[in-house]
Amino acid sequence: MKRIIQPALLLATLAFAVAPAFTPSFRGYDPATFPVQIAQPSVQPAGYAFAIWGLIYLWLIAHAGFGLIKRRGDAAFIRPALALTVSVLLGTVWLAIAVAAPIPAAVAIVVMAATAIYAYLVADPVQDRWLLAAPLAIYAGWLTAASAVSTGVIIAGYGILPDTTAALAMLGLVLVVAIAIQIKRPRMPIYGATIVWAIVGIVVKSWGSNATVAYAALAGAVIMACVTLVSLRGRIS
């Protein structure tokens, strides 16, 4: 396994990056697939926030390529490789699932997030940090938020909770998980910054349409930014 996992990760990451070109355009789950149709779920970030995927793809490719070429067999790169490979392989087919089946897609993105977070937490936070921990941090951070968004849309779409309540619950969940992870890895602000980026996207989307969610998300973004900066400063000092 150790001999093939790094080449497998690079191939899987490349497939992950090109998959959107071969799958239908995805702008969120189709409201028509839910019993309660919500045209604009409050938990969903503004469209611009998804542009972060370009950086995620490039950074993950750099991570996998550098690991294979310059750190072949290095335990620091092998340790997170299997979990990351599982995550990006799921990501390769996720868009195809999401356009047709929201519930399986929601389950899949939770698994993607869990494996990405695991990969990030077992990665060495010091060695080659901008090509090891950093790309895993941005990927895990975005999936932490995205899995909660996906779950929130499902919860509201099936009438388990009202739209606003579902959004607030998922914001709270994201903050609890993200703060715990950021405190555990204080040297790497990229994770916390990615969470802030995602939450600010919710602020922008909800501003003017759902003040409760907008202000709650704004408060959450401030809290996450403060935790990230304070944990980093405390670690440095």
Tell me the per-residue pLDDT of 158-212, one tens digit each, with 9 for 90 and over. 999 999 999 999 999 999 999 999 999 998 999 999 999 999 999 999 998 999 9
**For all residues of the chain together, what is the average pLDDT?**
95
Tell me the per-residue pLDDT of 69-79, one tens digit each, with 9 for 90 and over. 999 999 999 99
Give yes or no for a contact between 155 and 173, defined as CB atoms under 8 angstroms apart. no
Asked if the model's pLDDT at residue 237 lies above 60, the reply is no
19 pLDDT tier (thresholds 50, 70, 90): very high
Q: Say what the pLDDT of residue 232 is.
A: 85
- Range list of β-strands (E), the chain: none
Q: Is residue 31 part of a domain?
A: no
Give the whole-angstrom CA distance, residue 203 versus residue 192.
Answer: 17
Asked if the model's pLDDT at residue 101 lies above 80, the reply is yes
Provide the residue range defining the domain that includes 11: 2-18+45-236
Q: Is residue 35 part of a domain?
A: no
Give the whole-angstrom CA distance, residue 194 versus residue 178.
Answer: 10
Q: Is residue 24 part of a domain?
A: no
Which residues 6+ apart lie within 8 Å of 28 measured at CB?
41, 44, 153
Is pTM beyond 0.85 here?
A: yes
Q: Is residue 212 part of a domain?
A: yes
Q: Is residue 32 part of a domain?
A: no
Which residues 6+ apart lie within 8 Å of 153 measured at CB?
28, 29, 38, 41, 43, 44, 102, 106, 166
Number of domains composing the chain: 1
Q: Is residue 162 part of a domain?
A: yes
Q: Say what the pLDDT of residue 236 is.
A: 45
Q: Say what the pLDDT of residue 28 is.
A: 83
Asked if the model's pLDDT at residue 235 lies above 80, the reply is no
Torsion, CA 157, CA 161, CA 163, CA 165, rounded to 10: -150
| Average of per-residue pLDDT across 154-161 | 97
Q: Is residue 29 part of a domain?
A: no
| Average of per-residue pLDDT across 132-141 | 99
Chain centroid to Cα 216, Å, comes to: 20
14 pLDDT tier (thresholds 50, 70, 90): very high
Asked if the model's pLDDT at residue 150 lies above 60, the reply is yes
Q: Which of 163, 172, 127, 180 is nearest to 145 (CA)?
A: 172
Q: Is residue 25 part of a domain?
A: no
| Average of per-residue pLDDT across 132-149 | 98
